Amino acid sequence: MIYVIATLTIRPGSLEALREPAAACIEATRKEDGCISYELFSSVIDPEKLVFVEKWETRGALTAHSKTEHLLAWREASKPHVIERHIEIVHPDEVENY
């Protein structure tokens, strides 16, 4: 099992524009093979910080997720609103940083 922590810094005032595309992506992702959980949180102290917390059965399932139509649609919809994206993939014995 692996975990993903994806931290996004968004442009001020962008949260509302991201709600619908994020919800669509989350709903579709939760139906994917290998997805154990997929959540999106917003910071209570920084309105420009969003954090996806994901749990996947395997790295292969996560790799397949990265090629799905709904994730590509989310990335395209979020592109004008995201300033920075930091992704950590946590394995039992290592952490990948992107």
CB contact set of 85 (below 8 Å; sequence gap of 6+): 6, 7, 8, 9, 98
Q: Within a domain: residue 74?
A: yes
Q: What is the pTM of this model?
A: 0.90
pLDDT the model gives residue 96: 87
CATH number for the domain harbouring residue 36: 3.30.70.100
pLDDT score recorded for residue 98:
83
The tally of CA atoms less than 13 A away on the side-chain side of residue 76 is: 8
Instruction: Quote the domain boundaries for residue 49.
Output: 2-85
pLDDT at 78: 97
* Residue 92 maps to a domain: no
Task: Quick: pLDDT tens for 14-27.
Answer: 999 999 999 999 99
- Does 17 reside within a domain? yes
Reply yes or no on whether the pLDDT at 39 is more than 90.
Answer: yes
The SS3 call for residue 77 is helix
User: 96 lies in a domain?
Assistant: no
The kind and range of the H/E element at 61 are: helix 59-65
Show the tokens assigned to 70.
């709904």
Domain count, the chain: 1
Q: Is residue 77 part of a domain?
A: yes
